Structure 1
Amino acid sequence: MPSRTLGATLAIALSIVPLLARSQPAAAPPAPQGAVAVPQPTSPFNGRIGRIVQESTPDFPREPTAPAEAPNVVLIMLDDVGYGQFGTFGGLTPTPSLDALADQGLRYTQFHTTALCSPTRASLLTGRTPHAAGTGVVADMAGGFPGYTSVIPREAGTIAQVLQGNGYATAWFGKNHNVPEWQSSAVGPFDRWPRGMGFDYFLGFVGGDTSQWDPALVENTSLFEMPPDQRGTHLTTFLADRAIGWMQQKHAIAPQKPFFLYFAPGATHAPHHAPQDWVDRFRGQFDMGWDRYRELAFERQRRLGVVPQDAKLTPRPDSLPAWDSLSPDQRRLYARMMEVMAGFTAHTDAEVGRLIASLDTLGIRDNTLVVWIVGDNGASAEGGLSGAVNEMNTFNAQPPEDPAASLRVIDELGGPLHHNNFPVGWAWAMNTPFQWTKQVASHLGGIRNPVVISWPRGIAERGGLRGQFHHVSDVMPTILDAAKLRMPTTIDGVPQRPLDGISMAYTFDRGNAVAPSRRTTQVFEMVLNRAIYHDGWMASARWRTPWVTTPRTDPIDTQEWELYDLRRDYSQSENLAAREPGRLRQMQDLWWAEAARNNILPLDNRLFERFDPRNRPSLVAGRNSFTYYPGIERLPQGAAPDLKNRSFSITAEVEVPAGGGEGMIINQGGRWGGWGLFFDDGGKLTYLQNVIGNVRYAVTSARPVPPGRHTLRLDFEYDGGGPGRGATARLSVNGANAASGRIERTVPLNWSLDEGVDIGLDHGTPLTEAYAARLPFRFNGRIAQVTIDLR
């Protein structure tokens, strides 16, 4: 008898027996002398329960189990890496860990991403094209059209959900840029955070980037601080340590249970941070400049076979300067910026290699499928033509940095004091042999990334090359194939949209090394740069150049289309549009058809209006007054009141301790842009605005605030007349004027990409180095509340 039947029977029996016992008459008094005693009836269950137990088998609800011999899966996604950056694919930075993995498996030379990070990652996790996954642009720029909401629909279930539902342990370490901005605070909702998308565990950062030295981390859905003994550890090293520890723990506890590890460090996205010894080992190695780098890398690529022998090196765009046209100071600065990137690249390779080596230590390498995707798009041009010591200049639409000023900190680049990125010329060089860079989905420099796949038990060939055309959405069905699993028709009761991806597993067979690609069509679009691939041909239409900030206002149908035969032209070097107008017309028509099918439409060239954050769902819309209490920490910019380009007041009810006040009352941002109200300099009250790290304005009370309860107030009177203008700041204590001063410039667009609002302390980096040694700079008194009023 099944245990549930047994359980039900016993429950009934044991519940009835007491009732029957209570229903029996009280024990009869002894029978009178000479009377006959009448026997009492026996229980109808006497003797039956024992037989039920003997005839039953205990059982429990069954947990899902993976198919026999299902492999472990390690999925690695790097950030902002060009095709010609890692040595394994011809770059001039040696990457022995990726070399070793490629020697054990296969290198893919026509694998494609989406040109930006959030869309690539959404496509990777869901197996759908990015717009079908609601992520046609980065989460920070979400618009209201279906393909651009940044909300991954429940109809697009993730690979982690499928594997978790089939008995896999799942974990995600590193970057998550797929939480909708208005859902990224401590109130969630959390269904589109990793724990809600099939991951048992998450440790990483939620946003586009973070400092590699002072990261803003989250564990599952809670803020996470690095342990004190590990502060100052590079983030890639820290994440690799934790990922290795997670694998060791899972294997030790349940070696029979396969795992899925998604490892997505912030490398090599800006800020370009790397340990000093890794940077210094490349000193002088890039003095040849970006033009010569392209030539040398292209020669290596042909020797390695990762580009065909008949491929052509595409020319430098007219808008990029030749290396030889730069001044000696510019060449010295830009060469050092590239040395930092090389150190970052090599360090990343070593840390990922350490993670892969741990599989051998555990004895599970043979049946572990490792998919290493070297970049979620091409190398980034977001450093601008002059590079950036503080990339927040770019995100605030500021003029290019002065190289002379940057030279003064040249030896600090790569360290914690700067949010640096290299110039466009190096980004273009990292994308050898292709045209253009990250953001440009119309051309291969933005979308073609190296991939290495290794699975000793499942891939017999070692060191092979594969040239089939594939897309990031193909990874999910590939993993399902390896695990012998099918995509379910429903997940948690929600019918699923069919996968757009096509399994790459057919390429694992040596006999299919040069087989035709099973992907025949793929559509691309990113901030109006668009393309269509079909049967070896590619039509491309570029609308925006990343380093040209002036928006286009002409109609979208004025976009010029180009046509390339990728069967004979690997690098997209010869535009055949004039020669084959009929084919180009067919490709354009196909683009519109695929765009309609994949939620890419409507196209809207009102780019900045379309992506205005005021058009998104918001926790603060319609509110003009906000009261916060201690415990508010790292409140994201998208969930905080917007204090830019307007007047406001801040009122804080505090108690200053005996001996005077010290520490932060409220702040937002940090070293590369932000503001704060705090006690310093012997208990004086200070308001400070850090304007993109370039200049700091401080208004400080003339006298210390005495011990006791006080009402502190900041009145910020904005000049108006456009973004980033000046203001007057006034401080008062208990209604009495304490100080006033001018703020000549303000931050126009972004305080920070990862540092939010804190009450009573300063997480992350400091607004000023004056209190850097005292972080987190906790207020030494008591804060009752802090109120922000917008005016």
Structure 2
Amino acid sequence: MSGSSTSSPGAPQGVLPYAEQKYRGAVGTSYLDSDPAEFPAPLRAPEGAPNVLLVLLDDAGFGQFSVAGGGVPSPNMEALAKDSVMFTRFHTTAVCSPTRAALLTGRNHHVAGTGNITEVATGYDGYTGIIPKDTATIGEILRQNGYITAWFGKNHNTPIYETSMTGPFNHWPNGLGFDFFYGFMAGDTNQIRPYLFENQTPVGTPTDPDYYLSVDLADRTIEWLRGVESVQPDKPWFAYLAPGATHAPHQAPKELIDQFKGQFSGGWDVYREQTLQRQKRMGLVPEDADLSARPASMPAWDSLDADQRRLYERMMEVFAAFGLHIDQQVGRVLDHVATLPDADNTLIFYIVGDNGASAEGGFDGTLNENAFFNAYLMKTEEMLDRIDEIGTEYHFNHFPAGWAHAMDTPFPWTKQAASHLGGTRNPMLVKWPARFLAGGETRTQFTHVIDVAATILEAAGIEEPRSVNGTAQTPIQGHSFLDALTDADAPEHRTSQYFEIFANRGMYKDGWWAGCLAFEPWQAVRGSFDPLTARWELYNLEEDFSQAHDLAAEHPAKLEELKALWWAQAAANKALPLDWRGAERFSSEMTGKPNLASGRTRFVYPGPLAGLPEASAPDLKNKSFTLSASVQIDDGASGMIFSQGGNTGGWAFYLLNGTMVFAHNYLDVERYIVRSDDVIGAGAHELTAEFTYKGGHDYGQNGAVVLFVDGREAGTGTIEQTTPMKYSLSENQDIGTNTGTAVTGEYTSPFDFEGDLTQVIVELGV
């Protein structure tokens, strides 16, 4: 009798995982009278399947980088473009998590459970913030077809209440089909002081003063590629590189920032005009395209005073340096890939933004993007005296909305505006030398982020599975655009696509676009809205590339047709019910999002514990609470007892040279500090901070503080205003140390506690 079959499990089939192979030979009493032993055949990808490098930048507009005519230099993107095709009508969803879920699954973002970012998730199927089992990721499909898979950088596709050290981990990158993960678990992070993970293990926060996240991610990607190429050079790999750039905070090395001094003095209106002219010269925009209008509510650059111009210029100089920096780092990865033996058979997708540039800094910009999520917009006078700190680790800075609009040239609006191209159109570069040798060309087929997964599967020769890990799959909704790589006149496979974010709605069909902007992106609090009576606009994109001319009045029947189609698509894709609320959706109390701490009023921590995400920690917002710590210290002790948040907002309870300190950072606008009256001497002590909230059911109000040492009152003070909704998207709760940025300027992280910290108790009031 013959031995077991050795047929490759990589042959196309519709069910994953492949059936486990069993030995089918004859087994005797010993190996001497048995058929030869044979191990199960290793999983192999289809013959000729390419490596895949997928790069996705964050919060980058169509007219931002020089590769698409923008004013931010991108020499490495330009070099790639010479060997690639650029898709100039490629579309995202208008916000990051939805785009990423759509990219990874090949389904529309609501179908993939990600109608918005996970922090504002609700309990409806299209808005849970959970990628469901019936929409398996491209990473999972490739992994189960013989690929090695890795994810570097931003993961904003895990529910916020599942990002602690207790998991569960099935929605982390390793559970979504990636063999290896290195990066951060949040929508954004301080580029100099991030809190990082390797797979499911916290790495913590780097302490190197010269550290930058983009450099680290490039280093780790190259290191991983070297490893897989040396250990399994015949096995194809899939690397997903998702840097945090150019999402706020905008941070870059000083020497790069200094290069841009004075380069943006003309302002955002001049920038838009110059960018459009460059885009036309490059052939990216038709010669007859008009520049779309600046929003009526947005100030003209010429209307600004001298202080505003000085501040806004500096913010743009920092942003440009940030953009150049990420171009340099991704360029290092591209250069390494080019040296690999199988570089020709490496398929590269470089998506220049997961949505348009962000206007969430408001009209004046901000030192703290998180202020927007708490419905607070900073004013110029609050920032001018700290202008030289912009771009450093000390602030979560974000430029003004006027610059965001300019970065999206020639289109109207910005990130969040799913109703318009400024929020949804991003350049994409695609390179595959084995199949496409020419370069420097453009493609104008209407494509969408859901089409990338289908394109990868066709390139790899892998069948779309009907079932993955025991779950029947919702069919991939994307269409492969692989034929467009070799044929500029390939048909447009995507003739219809709906869009929705925060009730901002768009509908594309056969060259026409209908859009309804519910709220301007810088409106943090949005009030009442009627989606049935809201005004829609209409554009003929075949004749009006830049969406400059609203034709709603001229073609009412066409508009009604597209509006009806949008409602039908919304119902079919789980985009209903519409929810236009802004900052208030960050509140678990308002949305009912799970929280590991919900239902508890007392938390006991037996000693140091670092890196607990805010969403899994006791909710200290808008209520009274008490912190108590059992310590053993020497004279003059310093160090963190308890912190929640960082320089974007939050609380800190610490010792500083023997003095007990309790502090609140209100959105990097004010820091309220209460100190003990006397220095605390050596010995064992019970240290307590009691905060009594005075706001009742109002959000973000004031409160009184009383400090105690061994039960005796040791100091009092007032916190004039508290952070109402969210301390941060990426800072943590720490006990015995401070893993992220500092809540106050009195200490620097990590600020380890000097002495023994045997217990910390948090008790919540009302």
Contact 1:536 1:566 in 2 (8 A): yes
CA distance in 2 between counterparts of 1:552 and 1:445 reads 24
Matches within 5 A, 1:774-785: 775-785=749-759
Aligned to 1:215: 194
Q: Secondary structure at the match of 2:610?
A: coil
Aligned to 2:557: 582
Larger radius of gyration between Structure 1 and Structure 2: 1
Contact 1:555 1:605 in 2 (8 A): no
Going from structure 1 to structure 2, the CA distance change for 1:227 and 1:425 (only over 3 Å counts) comes to: closer
Give the partner amino acid of 1:86: F
Shift of 1:673: 1.7
CA distance in 1 between counterparts of 2:377 and 2:458 reads 50
Contact 1:215 1:235 in 2 (8 A): yes
Q: Deviations over 1:268-318 (max 9, x none)?
A: 000000111111111111101111110000000001011111211111111
CA distance in 1 between counterparts of 2:607 and 2:332 reads 41
Aligned to 1:494: 471
Give the partner amino acid of 1:689: H
Q: Secondary structure at the match of 1:277?
A: helix
Q: Deviations over 1:97-134 (max 9, x none)?
A: 11111110100000000000000000000000000000
Aligned to 2:725: 749
Out of 413, 416, 428, the position equivalent to 2:390 is 413
Comparing 196-205 with 541-550, greater Cα deviation is found at 541-550
Q: Secondary structure at the match of 1:635?
A: strand
1:121 lines up with 2:139 in the alignment:
no
Contact 1:556 1:605 in 2 (8 A): no
1:306 lines up with 2:284 in the alignment:
yes
CA distance in 1 between counterparts of 2:412 and 2:186 reads 28
Out of 275, 281, 295, the position equivalent to 1:317 is 295
Q: Secondary structure at the match of 2:215?
A: helix
Aligned to 1:389: 367
Give the partner amino acid of 1:204: G
Q: Deviations over 1:527-571 (max 9, x none)?
A: 000011111111111101012334131322121011111111111
Aligned to 1:194: 173
Contact 1:718 1:725 in 2 (8 A): yes
**Unpaired segments ≥5 residues, structure 2:** 5-21
Aligned to 1:17: none
Matches within 5 A, 1:359-508: 359-401=337-379, 403-508=380-485
CA distance in 1 between counterparts of 2:402 and 2:223 reads 39
Q: Deviations over 1:419-453 (max 9, x none)?
A: 11110110000000000000000000000000000
CA distance in 2 between counterparts of 1:637 and 1:730 reads 24
1:2 lines up with 2:33 in the alignment:
no
Going from structure 1 to structure 2, the CA distance change for 1:471 and 1:529 (only over 3 Å counts) comes to: same
CA distance in 2 between counterparts of 1:661 and 1:217 reads 29
CA distance in 1 between counterparts of 2:500 and 2:620 reads 33
Contact 2:373 2:586 in 1 (8 A): no
Contact 2:500 2:506 in 1 (8 A): yes
Contact 1:604 1:610 in 2 (8 A): no
1:663 lines up with 2:636 in the alignment:
no
Aligned to 2:16: none
Q: Secondary structure at the match of 2:673?
A: strand
TM-score relative to the length of structure 2: 0.95
Q: Secondary structure at the match of 1:634?
A: strand
Q: Secondary structure at the match of 2:661?
A: strand
Q: Secondary structure at the match of 2:275?
A: helix
Matches within 5 A, 1:144-183: 144-183=123-162
Shift of 1:515: 3.2
Aligned to 1:252: 230
Shift of 1:725: 1.6
Aligned to 2:322: 344
Aligned to 2:617: 640
CA distance in 2 between counterparts of 1:300 and 1:742 reads 55
Give the partner amino acid of 1:193: W
Q: Deviations over 1:488-543 (max 9, x none)?
A: 1111111111001111101012xx31333111110100000001111111111110
Contact 1:529 1:543 in 2 (8 A): yes
Q: Deviations over 1:668-727 (max 9, x none)?
A: 11223221111112x122211122222222222222333333222211111115222211
CA distance in 2 between counterparts of 1:679 and 1:611 reads 32
CA distance in 2 between counterparts of 1:81 and 1:607 reads 22
Aligned to 1:692: 667
CA distance in 2 between counterparts of 1:329 and 1:617 reads 44
Aligned to 1:37: none
Matches within 5 A, 1:8-47: 9-10=27-28, 13=29
Aligned to 2:57: 78
Out of 265, 269, 274, the position equivalent to 2:247 is 269
Going from structure 1 to structure 2, the CA distance change for 1:461 and 1:679 (only over 3 Å counts) comes to: same
Give the partner amino acid of 2:643: N
Give the partner amino acid of 1:759: I
Give the partner amino acid of 1:244: I
Contact 1:338 1:422 in 2 (8 A): yes
CA distance in 1 between counterparts of 2:585 and 2:346 reads 44
Give the partner amino acid of 1:671: N
Shift of 1:256: 0.4
Shift of 1:409: 2.4
Contact 1:107 1:453 in 2 (8 A): yes
Aligned to 2:261: 283
Out of 484, 496, 520, the position equivalent to 1:521 is 496
Q: Secondary structure at the match of 2:498?
A: strand
Shift of 1:320: 0.6
Give the partner amino acid of 2:702: G
**Unpaired segments ≥5 residues, structure 1:** 15-48
Going from structure 1 to structure 2, the CA distance change for 1:7 and 1:662 (only over 3 Å counts) comes to: farther
CA distance in 2 between counterparts of 1:259 and 1:5 reads 29
Aligned to 1:41: none
Q: Deviations over 1:443-466 (max 9, x none)?
A: 000000000001111113211110
CA distance in 2 between counterparts of 1:232 and 1:429 reads 31
Contact 2:686 2:710 in 1 (8 A): yes
TM-score relative to the length of structure 1: 0.92
Tell me which protein shows more helix as a share of its residues: 1
Going from structure 1 to structure 2, the CA distance change for 1:353 and 1:607 (only over 3 Å counts) comes to: closer
Aligned to 2:8: none
Contact 1:381 1:437 in 2 (8 A): yes
Aligned to 2:10: none
Q: Secondary structure at the match of 1:319?
A: coil
What is the identity percentage for the equivalent residue pairs of Structure 1 and Structure 2?
47
Q: Deviations over 1:635-659 (max 9, x none)?
A: 1111111111111111222222x44
Out of 25, 37, 43, the position equivalent to 1:64 is 43
Q: Secondary structure at the match of 1:357?
A: helix
CA distance in 2 between counterparts of 1:318 and 1:606 reads 23
CA distance in 2 between counterparts of 1:666 and 1:627 reads 12
Shift of 1:165: 0.6
CA distance in 1 between counterparts of 2:676 and 2:364 reads 39
Matches within 5 A, 1:593-612: 593-605=568-580, 612=587
Contact 2:608 2:757 in 1 (8 A): no
Q: Secondary structure at the match of 2:308?
A: helix
CA distance in 1 between counterparts of 2:277 and 2:724 reads 45
CA distance in 2 between counterparts of 1:6 and 1:107 reads 51
Contact 1:214 1:232 in 2 (8 A): no
Going from structure 1 to structure 2, the CA distance change for 1:631 and 1:476 (only over 3 Å counts) comes to: farther
Shift of 1:735: 1.2
CA distance in 1 between counterparts of 2:470 and 2:663 reads 52
